[in-house]
Structure 1
Amino acid sequence: MQDKLNLMIPGPTPVPENVLSCMSKHPIGHRSGEFQEIVQKTTKQLQWLHQTTADVLTITGSGTAAMEAGIINTLSKGDQVICGDNGKFGERWVKVAKAYGLNVKVVKSDWGQPLDPNEFKMILEEDTEKKIKAVILTHSETSTGVINDLKEINSAVKSHSRAITIADCVTSLGACNIPMDEWGIDVIASGSQKGYMIPPGLSFVAMSKRAWEANASSDLPKFYLDLKQYLKAINKNSNPFTPAINLYFALEASLTMMQKEGLNNIFTRHARHQKATQEGIKAMGLKLFTKEGYGSPAITAVQPEHVDAETIRKSIKNDFDILLAGGQDHLKGKIFRIGHLGFVNDRDIISVISALECSLDKIGKLKAPIGKGLAKSISVLNN
């Protein structure tokens, strides 16, 4: 049967029907009063989601564009920075920082392990001359399913007093609590195809007062990603360039849905689905890849033994039309990843756990009695 694909990957995530229908409307002028009303409304909604009174700017581009914008708008060539690297995306920010001539100190952990906040704290405390200008890290490391302790690491940055925090929250914003103002985070980057529940194409950069102070002395090259242009435009409820207009229609609809559900309910739902997925996985005899207690509420990484992870993914896709994510780089064939981010409900969790048990049984790799994993997931969902 065609057109029954169920996305259970960390992005793009499933899109609600009413959000998709909003995108089918005819585009309007991006300099029109009607569009300005949408920009004004979504800007306030974005501040609600980020739990901030700071500026939240919208860029037509991917989450990588948002992160690069956060870096190049606050730093200067030769600046000393700390980059956390415990996965594909932490690795990417090291590459981006080096590409712009920054002096990078890497805090590294093995893939599947969280970054150690004490390492950041030690390096920052040793910097008595206050030469370190920023700490750059990924909150939810999509490639491995690890959630890093952003609150604790950011606290160490605040104690330094000079450095700012630039956080990739692409798969954590809209999935778990990230109170920007309460924690004092300086830059938060995110993307539309994750917790926002809309297709890829928009990214968001939230900038604190300290981030704008750093911007005043930033000398890295920028044009399309020059956030001063976006700030000037947003103050007029506009955009400096031609934006993805129909994605703004979707953004308004999805953020309205999220406001109706409420932040705490959103966070509770993601935590509940994370637990149901993880407990079901363990009950059927599979091993979680991520260190215990550091799993992301957006995605669960599974490390099967005695079977190639791609074989499992292929079986589930062919038999059930459920798409799971594979491992990246050296983890290809060694892990698969189940997304439970955004527009996901209990039925989706039950479906993916059931499909996984069926597929393992079919290829002769199911260790536990069939149905044990599903029973465990259901018990979590019913409590």
Structure 2
Amino acid sequence: MNDKQLLMIPGPTPVPARVLQAMAKHPIGHRSGAYNKIQAEVTANLKWLHQTESDVLTLTVSGTGAMEAGIINFLSPGDRVLTGCNGKFGDRWAEICTAYGLQVEKITAEWGQPLDPEAFRQRLQADTAKEIKAVILTHSETSTGVLNDLAGINAAVKEHGQALIMVDAVTSLGAISLPIDDWGLDVVASGSQKGYMIPPGLGFVAVSAKAWVAYETAKLPRYYLDLGKYRKATAKDTTPFTPPVNLVFALQAALQMMREEGLEAIFARHNRLQRGTRAAIHALGLATLGPDDCASPAVTAVMPSQVDAEAVRKMMNQRYDIALAGGQDHLKGKIFRIGHLGFVCDRDMLTAIACLEATLKSLGCDVPMGAGISAAAAVFNEA
């Protein structure tokens, strides 16, 4: 059956009909008063979602573009930075920093394990000359399904006193509470195709007052990604360059839906989906890549022992029209990843688990049929 695919990947995520309908409207001029009103509403709701009174800027980029913008606007060539590397995306930020001539020092952990806040604390305490300018890390490491201890690492950064903290919140923003102002986070980047429930194409960067001070002396090259331009334009309810107007329509509708649901309900739903998914996977006798106590609310990485992970993904897609994500780099063929982020509900997860059970059985795996469904349902019925 055509047009029936269920996206159970960590991005792009399913898009609500209300958002698709908003996208289908005829474009309007982005220099018009009508657009200014939409921009003002979107900006206010972005600040609500980010739990901040500081700037939240919208760029026509992916999550990677938002992170690159966050890095290049507040640093200068030769600056020392600490990067947390325990997955594909932590490694990516180190690569971007290297490309821009920064002095990169990595704090690493095995893929599937969380970063150790104490390792950051020790490195920062040793920097008595205050030469480290920024600490850059991924909150929810999408490649492994691990949630890093951002609060703990941020506490170490705050003890240092000088370094900025820059956060990839691409699959955590909108899935778990991220109190930017309360924690004093300086740069937080995210992307539209994740918790925002809209297609790819928009990136968001939240910027603190401390980061704007660093902006004044930062010397890395920037033009299209110059956040100062976006700050001035956003203050006037406009944009410095042509935005994807229909994606902004989608964003407006999605943020309205999120406000209707409420932050606490959104976070509770993602927590419930995470726990239900992991309960189901364990009940089927499968292993998850990371431990339960640092599980991402956005994605669960599964390590099947009786079958190649790509065979599972292929049959899930061909027979049931359900898309699962694969492993990256050295984990390709060893894991598959189940996304439970954004416009996903209990019903979607139960459907995916039922189909996963049938798929594993068809591939010759010895799994207790119905055990996954029962385990997930038990979690979902707790309320």
Which band: TM-score by shorter chain? over 0.9
> Which secondary structure does the structure 1 equivalent of 2:291 belong to?
coil
Give 1:99 deviation, angstroms: 0.4
Over the aligned positions, Cα root-mean-square deviation in angstroms equals: 0.6
AA aligned opposite 1:372: A
TM-score normalised by the chain length of structure 2: 0.99
Query: Contact 1:357–1:366 (CA<8 Å) still a contact in 2?
Result: no
Q: Distance in 2 between matches of 1:66 and 1:362?
A: 42
Note if 1:381 corresponds to 2:373. Answer: no
Q: Distance in 2 between matches of 1:235 and 1:284?
A: 52
Other-structure match for 1:346: 346
Other-structure match for 2:355: 355
Other-structure match for 1:141: 141
Query: Contact 2:113–2:291 (CA<8 Å) still a contact in 1?
Result: yes
Query: Contact 2:8–2:324 (CA<8 Å) still a contact in 1?
Result: yes
Query: Contact 1:42–1:252 (CA<8 Å) still a contact in 2?
Result: yes
Q: Distance in 2 between matches of 1:158 and 1:34?
A: 42
Give 1:289 deviation, angstroms: 0.7
What does the per-residue CA deviation read over 1:274-310, in whole Å, with 9 as the maximum and x for residues that have no partner?
0000000000110011123111000000001031000
Other-structure match for 2:182: 182
Note if 1:256 corresponds to 2:256. Answer: yes
Other-structure match for 1:105: 105
Other-structure match for 2:220: 220
Q: Distance in 2 between matches of 1:287 and 1:294?
A: 15
Query: Contact 1:66–1:189 (CA<8 Å) still a contact in 2?
Result: yes
- Paired residues for 1:38-117 under 5 Å: 38-117=38-117
Q: Distance in 1 between matches of 2:319 and 2:374?
A: 21
> Which secondary structure does the structure 2 equivalent of 1:166 belong to?
strand
Give 1:72 deviation, angstroms: 0.4
Question: Aligned residues: percent identity?
Answer: 59
Query: Contact 1:350–1:378 (CA<8 Å) still a contact in 2?
Result: yes
> Which secondary structure does the structure 2 equivalent of 1:158 belong to?
helix
Q: Distance in 1 between matches of 2:366 and 2:267?
A: 32
My pick for the range that moved more, 283-292 or 47-56, is 283-292
Instruction: Give the unaligned 5+ runs of structure 1.
Output: none
Q: Distance in 1 between matches of 2:292 and 2:359?
A: 25
Note if 1:323 corresponds to 2:323. Answer: yes
Query: Contact 2:307–2:363 (CA<8 Å) still a contact in 1?
Result: no
Give 1:315 deviation, angstroms: 1.0
Q: Distance in 1 between matches of 2:202 and 2:96?
A: 20
Query: Contact 2:194–2:342 (CA<8 Å) still a contact in 1?
Result: yes
AA aligned opposite 1:63: G
TM-score normalised by the chain length of structure 1: 0.99
Give 1:69 deviation, angstroms: 0.5
Give 1:366 deviation, angstroms: 3.0
Query: Contact 2:47–2:53 (CA<8 Å) still a contact in 1?
Result: yes
Q: Distance in 1 between matches of 2:120 and 2:244?
A: 38
Q: Distance in 2 between matches of 1:306 and 1:379?
A: 26
Give 1:231 deviation, angstroms: 0.6
Other-structure match for 2:288: 288
Give 1:363 deviation, angstroms: 1.2
- Paired residues for 1:130-209 under 5 Å: 130-209=130-209
Q: Distance in 2 between matches of 1:356 and 1:126?
A: 49
Query: Contact 1:175–1:342 (CA<8 Å) still a contact in 2?
Result: yes
Query: Contact 1:114–1:291 (CA<8 Å) still a contact in 2?
Result: no
